[in-house]
């Protein structure tokens, strides 16, 4: 659950000020017991009117990591995993990915999530060591699946959401536990797919 409130702060010999505060109360991550059945349609193969940014723009090549097109530029991998994947969506902490799925026959969503391997090899992605990355799936505004807090030493986690037959919108959110919205910090949603 997400709780938004305002905290009044009084500093020594200074005026009081109101500071917005968001608290997230999450159950521990539970790995799904099985993968969704049926045809899996990767995000890059979905109809053009399905996947957008929160601002209503289509996802572009800067959001997707895709093989073999990107094979010469970068490997599609997650930290602490030897697997090389075919497709990933970069989930920047300042942005969200929205899937408009009403009436399109999709029953489920699945993806592997985690930080990119650059977190463990180079310091090109700013991440405070004690901060954690969170991957969350919202269905019509309600949180239905999450990764729990992840650091660069965690292995990838799988997220599965079922029962999407009557859902209007699926929203993928990547955020830092600290609330920092640095535009350069991101995690990867690997093999994101909607299932029929």
For residue 109, which phi and psi values (nearest 5 degrees)? Answer: -130, 145
Dihedral of alpha carbons 30, 22, 155, 60, sign = positive
Q: What is the CATH number of domain 29-195?
A: 2.60.120.1060
Residue appearing with tokens 């990915």: 97
Q: How many CB atoms lie within 10 A of CB 107?
A: 18
- Tell which residue, 157, 158, 145, 161, has the closest CA to residue 108: 161
The pTM assigned to this predicted structure is: 0.79
124-128, 149-153, 186-190: least confidently modelled range? 124-128
Token pair for 128: 């405070």
pLDDT tens for 50-88 read: 888 777 777 665 456 555 444 445 567 788 888 888 888
Question: How much is the pLDDT for 93?
Answer: 82
Residue 46 has pLDDT above 50, yes or no: yes
Q: Quick one: average pLDDT of 94-112? A: 93
Domain range annotation of the chain: 29-195
Measured in residues, the chain has a length of: 196
- Hey, what are 134's tokens? 């969170």
CA atoms within 13 A on the CB side of 1: 2
Cα separation, 147 vs 69, in Å, equals: 29
Residues 134-163 have pLDDT tens digits of 999 999 999 999 999 998 888 999 999 999
Q: Which pair of tokens denotes residue 138?
A: 């919202």
Q: Mention every residue, 6+ apart, whose C-beta is less than 8 A from residue 89.
A: 43, 59, 63, 64, 65, 97, 172, 188, 189, 192
- Give the chain's mean pLDDT: 82
């Amino acid at each position: 659950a997400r709780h938004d409130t305002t905290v009044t702060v009084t500093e020594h010999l200074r005026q009081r000020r109101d500071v917005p505060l968001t608290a997230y109360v999450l159950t521990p991550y539970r790995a799904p017991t099985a993968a969704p059945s049926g045809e899996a349609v990767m995000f890059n193969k979905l109809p053009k009117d399905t996947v957008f940014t929160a601002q209503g723009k289509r996802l572009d090549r800067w959001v997707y990591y895709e093989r073999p097109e990107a094979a010469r530029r970068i490997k599609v991998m997650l930290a602490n995993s030897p697997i090389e994947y075919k497709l990933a969506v970069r989930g920047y902490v300042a942005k969200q990915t929205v899937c408009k799925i009403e009436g399109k026959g999709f029953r489920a969503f699945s993806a592997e999530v985690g930080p990119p391997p650059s977190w463990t090899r180079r310091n090109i992605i700013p991440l405070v060591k004690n901060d954690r990355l969170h991957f969350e799936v919202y269905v019509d505004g309600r949180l239905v699946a999450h990764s729990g807090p992840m650091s660069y030493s965690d292995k990838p986690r799988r997220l599965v959401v079922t029962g999407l037959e009557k859902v209007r919108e699926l929203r993928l959110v990547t955020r830092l536990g600290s609330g920092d919205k640095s535009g350069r910090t991101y995690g990867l949603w690997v093999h994101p797919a909607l299932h029929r």
